[in-house]
Homo-oligomer: A and B are copies of this chain.
Amino acid sequence: MSTQYILELIGTYFFAISGALAVSNVENDLFGASFTGFITAIGGGTLRDLILDSHPLVWIADSMVMYAIFAGILTAIIFYKYVIKLRKTLLLFDTMGIALFTVLGVEKALQFGVGHEVAVIMGIFSAVMGGVIRDTLSNITPVIFKKEIYASACMVGAIMYLLLNQFHVERQVNLLASASVIAAIRLLAIRFNLYLPSLGSWK
């Protein structure tokens, strides 16, 4: 198994945890929590693959993905009281997850011969749509709409991946560099409370 594959499974595992711990689940039943964990973990990649017409879907073709999701859900359920205290650590893993999924999403889209703009959007979708679906089902404002540098960090990293790719930077280096930029932007933004202006903020 390649490092990248293992990282993907780990990312999926953490996405499932974050989904199972979604706000609304605290007062809902275990099955609801598991369901949200599942949807969050597969949502972004599934939407990307449906749009690209890439079948079979990753989680259908590869049981390991499914097991990573189940492991994440079980972790959230069994170690609930510990995991909930580790929110900061989880945020770190979530950030690494979206960073990784963005660049892998861009790469996959390129393999399907789509244009550069579409590849950037597929990268962003892969990373954030699971969370958007999770929040929409929970009836809370999707994280992507909050005043937080989140999907915009993914966009920067996706564009960077394309640029480095254009300059024939070696794939592994590019994946690592672009994903690191996404993670760095997001973590710095959280640390220094940076955010983008809103639509109505200048008049």
Contacts and interface: CB of A to CB of B under 8 A. Distances in A.
A46 interface: yes
A142 B137 contact: yes
A84 B113 CA distance: 38
A151 interface: yes
Contact of A145 (B51, B137, B195, B196): B137
Interface in A9-32: 20-21, 24-32
Contacts of A56: 53, 114
The copy count of this chain in the complex is 3
Contact of A51 (B35, B46, B141): B46
B66 A118 contact: yes
Given A76-B199, A118-B60, A137-B142, A28 B66 contact: no
A30 B196 contact: yes
A118 to B, nearest CB: 5
B38 A121 contact: yes
Contact of A196 (B29, B55, B63, B151): B29
A85 to B, nearest CB: 12
A61 B142 CA distance: 29
Given A137-B142, A199-B77, A152 B59 contact: no
A34 to B, nearest CB: 9
Contacts of A88: none
Given A60-B114, A118-B59, A199 B31 contact: no
A99 interface: no
Nearest to A154: B31
Given A21-B199, A60-B115, 5 more contacts: A24-B145, A29-B146, A32-B146, A35-B144, A76-B199
Interface of A: 20-21, 24-33, 35-36, 38, 46, 50-53, 55-57, 59-60, 63, 66, 70, 76-77, 80-81, 114-115, 117-118, 121, 132, 136-142, 144-148, 150-152, 155, 195-200, 202-203
